[in-house]
Chain A
């Protein structure tokens, strides 16, 4: 069996075992909470009776997955270099706010309008991530500490701006404040056509966010960048062995800044699916916590775009069940327990399987060479 295939199979097997164990642990938690595990797991898979309900379920799962996937990518770019960008949370919030505000100031043909909003979001996210990067390379400030602190600043700053300078007109009876609503040219077309192609009814509400297509392209682009380019090689080398990278002529400071800004720029896009596809503004009830979940998603996906996609879909699948669980009389916080258990166990499983794969590789090399067999005793 080729080493690559073996490693892939081992990873999948490890993840499967981890998920089974996570289900077992969650069952215990559900029982302790006084609910029935069977009912809970039935609710997870219960997408509803009618075709429309199923379509709605799938849509809300994918809509949840898209920002998680982008968040996972953002975190993974840093992780590849052993840079812990915990600041994705702050970066996406401030970027989403600025993009929503700037996007509402003008009206251009749709493709240009949307492209401009994407560029603004990426630029703001990247610039905000530049702060900890510069602090790290000039003063040696640990990026974990600085990004956590910058998260607080970003979150409070966004809250202030949305109530003050960036606030839009509040409709009668609306309880939340938000930025001005985007012109229609900034509304990303939905992908409901996909369902209609299969003869299914369109989902209700905002439908399947069209930003899904951007996310897929982004995933492919990140994969190409990390796996096929010189820059990606330098990121990998710096992550695996910074000393060797330095001796090989990779400039460590440049790499820290580049990786951090790239991570922040991707983080800037996290809020766009929701803004462009559904809300059309940034409000005080904007979805929080995506940056932190992105850390878990990146861990689960082993920092690889394909793995992150699977992890994001899994998280989306679990999050979708919040409603059905409540109908089944199961506390929806069970989802958080399951997600936590899965991440923890998958990380452990990854560690075990990668060690197994390394050992196998060593054995295989030794066996193929057959050089380590002791010689005949000569005296």
Chain B
């Protein structure tokens, strides 16, 4: 399955023996890739396989320690991204780099403005942008503000940006990660047009179905090196996945239902305003107040959110990021004031502090472990204490019980297979997967009754992902109630007992994970399927 250039034309990009070392880690090792001009070439690999490093090298953000890069047959050496841009390479980052308060036109020309007498030559910029968008089927109104655009449109602006700078080779870093299925289809239509226009697209992804539907050639990266180059017509998703993972695939499926009748967490009428918390007028019920706000046309971050989670149940929340998931977590954790009530095991905890809620048995795996979950410059045992500083075994009176905390950290390291030299190692020295396993172990400590798991396997390797899924399943079987928030639809469908969709702060649909397709889920998530009348709930076992 070697797809070396068919020798019809010089390859657009040729990477030979690229190796890049970081202290103690070989990020890339003897990478060999040949990309033919006018094709969509996919590079697939798991999180942490080395795709991002490779793309940074190709885009001039990092220098390889060994190996050569040839663009259109000429050997090049990029020192900065400007060199790469000059050679006709453009990069569309996974996270958009757009100025929200600028128009599309201003964003596209930013940094490469055509000038007339020192001022921005709007007419020339507009003409060029319109030419590019009609040639490549990238339709966006140049005068709209970027903040008003949807995710798909923003991505088109990013592509226009690199085309505007004369790119003939486009690198798209996980472009579908932020898109719902319908938007993915539109993106692929755009990519086919670009290809027809003679451009070369390097498409980085780990979503195999998408890769198989769009790519003309596929290179698989595993643990920092290229393990195979395959023809998408000759390979199945299953085979590709096995090349990528190198072993048997983990699946997030939960087996039999363990849902009980006991409600562990009950949320009702949770409402949060966008422009700050105002106390409820005396004597007004929350529902009435919320209706009033809605009638006034106020933007609500959370709009009358209600659900129950039973012991032994995993309740999944699907939604495009930024539709109220973070606010929901903050409201349940007591980190941000909201209207409505939160009950934990029958007790109204709405007015409790975060600390008291944690002490009452709420565990929290945060969505961004570096921002909310860890003290990177502190040791592992101190990270074990974090969030448990007022509880056994970390505390003894006013003191931190160092010995007990260290011992319990060792227990977590063993039980959760955290790979670390010891408990005194600083958290930043661990890989993402091991950091996450430590957090999962910490949050499962002290017998929680309810766990918030926000993107629990984001940015971790396959092994850690499978382990974390196992731990969640085991805890569920032991009677833990879990609120699972994730952008990974497979994870959501596979782990959840009940699935809700959140859209603009409202729970718009309640679905049965056993017979929902990612497409239908995507429809609810974008509001394409109007969800005010959710389908009837499935019977709970």
Contact = CB atoms under 8 A, between A and B. Distances in A.
Given A231-B398, A233-B400, A247 B425 contact: no
A375 B50 CA distance: 13
A240 B429 contact: no
Given A233-B389, A364-B429, A366-B24, A244 B399 contact: no
Contacts of B226: 377
Contacts of B225: 374-375, 377
Given A246-B335, A365-B425, A236 B378 contact: yes
A43 to B, nearest CB: 42
Contacts of A231: 398
B371 interface: yes
Contacts of B345: none
B287 interface: no
Nearest to B433: A371
Nearest to A374: B29
Interface string A346-379: 0000000000001101111111110111110111
A142 B256 CA distance: 55
Contact of A366 (B25, B30, B402): B25
B426 A361 contact: yes
Contacts of B227: 377-379
B389 A369 contact: no
A247 B378 contact: no
A183 B373 CA distance: 56
B386 interface: yes
A295 to B, nearest CB: 22
Contacts of B426: 358, 361
Contact of B419 (A246, A358, A371): A371
A175 interface: no
Contacts of A361: 425-426, 428-429
A249 interface: yes
Contacts of A3: 424-425
A234 interface: yes
Interface string A1-40: 0011000000000000000000000000000000000000
A365 B24 contact: yes
A212 to B, nearest CB: 28
Contacts of A251: 353-355
Contacts of B419: 369, 371
A362 B24 contact: yes
A229 B246 contact: no
B386 A248 contact: yes
A110 interface: no
Contact of A228 (B25, B26, B333, B400): B400
A378 B228 CA distance: 8
Contacts of B25: 366, 372
B24 A367 contact: yes
A244 B374 contact: yes
B428 A358 contact: yes
A234 B388 CA distance: 11
B136 interface: no
B192 interface: no
Interface string B358-398: 11000010100001111111100010011101100001001
Contacts of B223: 374-375
Nearest to B1: A379
A234 B398 CA distance: 12
B23 interface: yes
A107 interface: no
A234 B243 CA distance: 46
Interface string B507-540: 0000000000000000000000000000000000
Contact of A249 (B358, B371, B399, B430): B358
Interface in B11-50: 23-26, 29-30
B358 A248 contact: yes
A249 B24 contact: no
Contacts of B425: 3, 361, 365
Interface string B406-432: 000000000000011100111011110
Contact of A247 (B1, B243, B246, B366): B366
B76 to A, nearest CB: 25
Interface string A179-193: 000000000000000
A229 B401 CA distance: 9
Contacts of B24: 362-367, 372
A179 B444 CA distance: 61
The CB with the most chain B CB atoms within 10 A, among A233, A359, A361, is that of A233
B441 interface: no
A207 B167 CA distance: 78
B421 A368 contact: yes
A135 interface: no
B224 interface: yes
A363 B421 CA distance: 11
Contacts of A359: 23
A258 to B, nearest CB: 13
A333 interface: no
Contacts of A377: 30, 225-227
B222 interface: yes
24 contacts: A230-B389, A230-B400, A236-B382, A240-B376, A240-B377, A244-B386, A247-B354, A247-B373, A248-B354, A250-B389, A251-B354, A361-B426, A361-B429, A363-B23, A364-B24, A367-B24, A373-B26, A374-B26, A374-B29, A378-B222, A378-B228, A378-B246, A379-B220, A379-B243
Top 7 A-B pairs, shortest CB-CB distance: A366-B24, A249-B355, A248-B387, A379-B228, A365-B429, A363-B24, A374-B29
Interface of B: 1, 23-26, 29-30, 220, 222-228, 243, 246, 333, 335, 353-359, 364, 366, 371-378, 382, 385-387, 389-390, 395, 398-400, 402, 419-421, 424-426, 428-431
Given A3-B425, A251-B355, A378-B228, 7 more contacts: A229-B399, A237-B389, A246-B372, A248-B389, A251-B353, A361-B425, A363-B23
